Chains A and B, each alone.
Chain A
């Protein structure tokens, strides 16, 4: 398998950026995981029946150690999401590479494994980077922060258990690689064919759900807020938020349909149909971005978390991952659009027309995303007041 990784020599700057983004995100997640380990070393878990923490009066409770570990899960999920988006777009962006590998005798399973290993390696690189930073801080090699302020988080007084560290660190590439392998569908690992470009039309059931779920959630939330029922309001708010995320592709699809209504000018026609065609590819990451941001804000507000460096790092990490996934999907869309607009260029469509339709499409998608984001923010605001 490893000799095949020399394929990485064919990386373009875009691929390199994606690789680096994954590595950086993995490094941050690895650092968070090691920090949880460091706290656990400083305050060893208390056996059941023991009176309680004694040696370290200022130290946190063991439950807080578990909570720290749990707080690493959202960023880990973010890395997995980024890896999945990358893996899904890789064959589309480099069809000649897939075609070459298939012609050279690669089966679909091997291609899948290759992609997963490629992404897992980026995660390994990031995890090793995180470990190095952790070790440097622990050994006070650089004296970045004086007088050992970070010592409890680094577990500096105790030896680092190798098995525990390795287990924790291995979760990052494992999650990344598995997400990548799961995301690559066999249909993608085939030479592209015109007949395969199926247009996904929303089913009636989905459309009904996309309208009713957010509506019902919002009504429940508002009614509960008026009556002062906090739990019901939270549940309703969560339902409304999830429903809004669910409705995002439908919103984009409907916008595209409205743009292309009644045989318009080519600019509007292409923009509208393009928006319809990319509704799912664009809508899903936008929905994840909105839901995770709003959900995170509401959760931080409810749990009474003080804004600190940890929260900032976590939030930034998740936003980075989802934005990376969104950019990946956009690049994927632009590649497939270049292919599907090739006949237009052949027919002599002026470049300005294609640029105008792309601008219109992007503008409308941004507007829809902003509107949905505003709606989500309003829902969150109703909960916090």
Chain B
């Protein structure tokens, strides 16, 4: 309440601390999520991704720190108000589909708008619409046990989107799926985020899934380790892979870097800033050229200075303005 959150951040966390029965899960995480963006929280298992999502979505309350949603505090809300926030403003996709087994697919999806206060007719219409969009309208009357795992996960995605949430939290949404289904689910989520201007907060440990994000926040041991832009992370990966394959796979490495550049350009274009696109494309092209020139070079660590949490003391640096992840707090 001392610092008002920036206006363009739909969700904003400051110095979150959370422990599970004495085991620290979050040790001072600060994070801002802009409206309509796709943010990937990455990190190994046990790095605190899920806890961060649970805290941000109001499922659990943090031990310390502040969370603001649309310029109103979440951390001061009581249980009932947080429940209301979850069912009206937020959507959630978990690592497991987590459907109610006795309800049909359509009923599972319709439950979200019903809980959010829609009328029965609206809920049915919304559920059918989303099931249609996710290509499972034929299975609408089947129960979860009768569906395949990827179909179930698509139903879960439809449920998370059906009530028109502002923010969707997706915790390893592709974990139980094979590669094709993973791509499909991620494309649906990102497309919905773009078309409905839904903010998507994604926790994942899969670099390919994280590629869909506009921005990546890497966590380790309950801290935001390297809050860098998705573009930089991609470049770093391209460089790393190229130096691993070094002399033999030169062409492949260059290709990978070029692909990364293209994808980064696409993502950035979708995310509006045209100037950033040019910069990204130019930078990525330069990186590709650098790879070709000197392949034996050690991998470049794209860690921006002073961006490692806890960021309460770290002043924001100019580089972070483009790809800001944490330090809105000063």
Contacts and interface: CB of A to CB of B under 8 A. Distances in A.
A199 interface: yes
Q: Is the interface of A mostly helix, strand, loop or mixed?
A: helix
B96 A347 contact: no
Contacts of B59: 346
A335 B88 CA distance: 28
Interface string B175-198: 000000000000000000000000
A16 interface: no
B85 interface: yes
Given A263-B110, A266-B114, A347-B115, A199 B86 contact: no
A276 B83 CA distance: 28
A347 B87 contact: yes
Given A266-B111, A269-B107, A349 B87 contact: yes
Q: Is the interface of B mostly helix, strand, loop or mixed?
A: helix
B133 interface: no
Given A194-B96, A346-B59, A346-B92, A269 B103 contact: yes
Interface in B168-226: none
Interface in A198-216: 198-199
Given A195-B145, A347-B92, A348-B87, A342 B98 contact: yes
B123 A199 contact: no
Chain B, interface residues (CB within 8 Å), range: 35 or more
A199 B83 contact: no
A329 B90 CA distance: 36
Contact of A340 (B85, B88, B101, B110): B101
Nearest to A194: B96
Interface string B138-154: 00000111000100100
Contacts of A264: 120
Given A194-B144, A348-B86, A273 B107 contact: yes
B83 A274 contact: no
A357 to B, nearest CB: 11
Contact of A346 (B98, B101, B145, B149): B98
A105 interface: no
Given A195-B149, A273-B102, A340-B102, A263 B97 contact: no
A263 B120 contact: yes
Nearest to B111: A266
A123 B92 CA distance: 48
Given A194-B144, A197-B101, A348-B115, A265 B80 contact: no
Contacts of A341: 100
Nearest to B143: A199
A198 B111 contact: no
A197 B94 CA distance: 18
A184 to B, nearest CB: 21
Interface string A173-207: 00000000000000000000011111100000000
B100 A343 contact: yes
Contacts of B99: 194, 343
Max count, chain B CB within 10 A of own CB: residue among A265, A269, A274, A276: A269
Nearest to A349: B115
A157 B159 CA distance: 76
Interface in A329-358: 340-344, 346-350, 353
Interface in A261-298: 263-266, 269-270, 273-274, 276-277
A298 to B, nearest CB: 37
